Amino acid sequence: MRAAGTEPHEFFHALFVMSINSLLQSAFTYHREGRLDLAEQGYLDVIKSAPTHWSARFGLAEVLNRTQRYDAAIGWLTPMLTEDPEESVPLHRELGFAHANAGRLQAALEHFKCILEKLPNDAETLHLVANFEQSLNLNEEADAHFRRALERKLLITIPAVTTPPAFRALFVFAPGRGNTPFAYLVETAPFESNVLNLLQDFKYDDAALRNGGDVVVNLIADVDQGGPMLAIADEFVERIGKPIVNHPRRITGTGRETIAKLIADTPGCLVPQTRLYTADALRTLFADAAAFPWSFPLLVRRAGTHGGSDFELVQHIWQLRAFVERVGECDYYLTPFVDYRSADGHYRKYRFFYVDGEILPYHLAIGNHWKVHHATTDMAQTPWMQAEEQAFLEHPTSVFGAVQYDALRAIGDTIGLDYFGIDCGLDAQGAVVVFEVNACMLVHGDNAAFPYKTPSVERIRHAFHAMLSRIAQRRDKSERTQGTQGTAIVG
């Protein structure tokens, strides 16, 4: 019943506002719970009734970003920039992430620079700007922004989902140096994550940093990119004196050539022997093609790269020479190509993660080309491929039997890292064909097209959390044992 003295238009306006607020609160709840399809519909229902509703449009754009519809998110956000200058910071932030996720780093950088115009001392934005500049090879600008960020705030903190946090972890990150991807690993964590950007020639407050973590996780994972930063990280973690995951000293032995030699004689494995060359050394070999010491086909990769960039299969020396001249002055890996095609003509690449001694399946990528990457296969449109991957993830021992698992365990024992991944195949005789082994491999939770992957991916994250928890619980004993003798290397 309408309240006495209330005009009809006021009454119906109040009902309208109440209805909009109810729809919006429902959308917010679904959003927080991760039920993004329902959140999206809720935001759209609000917008249908109130087309200019700011929070509904922004919430919808956030959902679109999280579900990898980046251009759609940008389409909603861009017109909002002209409406209220006071709300431009969150808009530029969301637009920046949308462009970054879509691979448009320059556009992303411009949006975060707009935030700096309003918030010149915001440490988080300074770090983001520096990282984008680093990716765009704007190294001097990146270094300046990293230093400005560190002067204002040493650590980037990712809060725990519980209060108080179960413990704190200090993640040591070297910008542009080939780090372990860790964003997914610290999502919904019961511990507080403190991320430190480690730079050369920067004076750190070691006492403050000791309080930043009960356990230290070294993220510098690529020998070719990490270079001198691994030695700096080694010295740094020794000064901090806390238990360390993936000690820099152990990472130094994980270059592609070194790894291939280390595990060459592993029973049940086929390990193509990789060799590192400078560009000049290869040119010297090219000068006498008759004496070229390799047989074709060969894989050639620019050192320090992962995935498919600057990585090719060559059948002739002239193709190898052309690749080197195109890519330029850098180091290169040469590896004999092993044709690992299955009997049905498809290529299958399996990825496992080693976490604190466990060997956990992550994915199976099936493709029609030797260079197999899950995101570039036809798996999203091919039900039988998805069914095969799901079967592998749920019952990996149905594909990798006792002999293959013995081989995987032997590799893990030889490498000796706390957390790392392996990409491999199986040849016709059942041998594990090793493609690469390192701590640079990506684990992520963006599996909307492959929901069956979620339990396996979450198992890896939970194992990572459990590993850090175990180490943190041992910290007092570790510190008493080590005293002034150095850092406890976990493993």
Q: Which residues contact 299 (CB under 8 A, 6 or more apart)?
A: 272, 311, 312, 313, 314, 333, 334, 335, 336, 337
AA letter at 317? I
Residue 479, pLDDT score:
52
CB 418 within 8 A of CB 463: no
Residue keyed to tokens 């029973």? 267
CA dihedral of residues 372, 310, 248, 210 (deg, nearest 10): -90
pLDDT of residue 490: 47
Q: Are strands 275-278 and 347-355 parallel, antiparallel or unpaired?
A: unpaired
CATH of domain 347-473: 3.30.470.20
Q: Is 5 left (phi over 0), alpha (psi -120 to 50) or beta?
A: left
- The residue type at 147: R
String of b and e for 316-345 (b: at least 16 CB within 10 Å)? ebebbbebbeebeeeebbbbebbebeeeee
CA distance 437 to 11: 67
The residues pairing with 220 across neighbouring beta strands, listed in sequence order, are: 179
Domain locations along the chain = 10-150, 154-251, 273-336, 347-473
pLDDT number for residue 481? 52
CATH number for 10-150 (one of 3.40.50.1860, 1.25.40.10, 3.30.450.40, 2.60.120.620): it is 1.25.40.10
Domain 154-251 has CATH 3.40.50: yes
How would CATH label the architecture of 273-336? 2-Layer Sandwich (3.30)
Q: In this structure, how many other beta carbons lie within 10 angstroms of the beta carbon of residue 279?
A: 16
Q: Which two tokens stand for residue 481?
A: 């044992």
Answer yes or no: are the C-beta atoms of 342 and 287 closer than 8 Å.
no
Rounded to whole angstroms, the Cα distance separating 55 from 75 reads 15
Is 190 in contact with 166 (CB distance < 8 Å)?
yes
- From CA 351, how far away is CA 374, in angstroms rounded? 10
Sort 113 into a burial class: Cβ within 10 Å, 0-12 / 13-18 / 19+.
middle
CB-CB neighbours of 243 under 10 Å: 25
What are 218's two structure tokens? 């070294």
Ordered per-residue pLDDT tens for the chain, 491 residues:
445 554 544 534 444 455 778 888 888 898 888 889 999 999 999 898 889 999 999 999 999 998 889 999 999 999 999 998 888 999 999 999 999 988 899 999 999 999 999 999 998 899 899 989 988 888 889 989 999 988 888 888 999 988 999 999 999 999 878 899 999 999 889 999 999 999 888 889 898 899 889 999 999 999 999 889 999 999 999 999 999 999 999 999 999 999 999 999 999 999 999 999 999 999 999 999 999 999 999 999 999 988 778 999 999 999 999 999 999 999 999 999 999 999 999 999 999 999 999 999 999 999 999 999 998 899 999 999 999 999 999 999 999 999 999 999 999 999 999 999 999 999 999 999 999 999 999 999 888 889 999 999 999 999 999 999 999 987 655 554 554 444 444 44
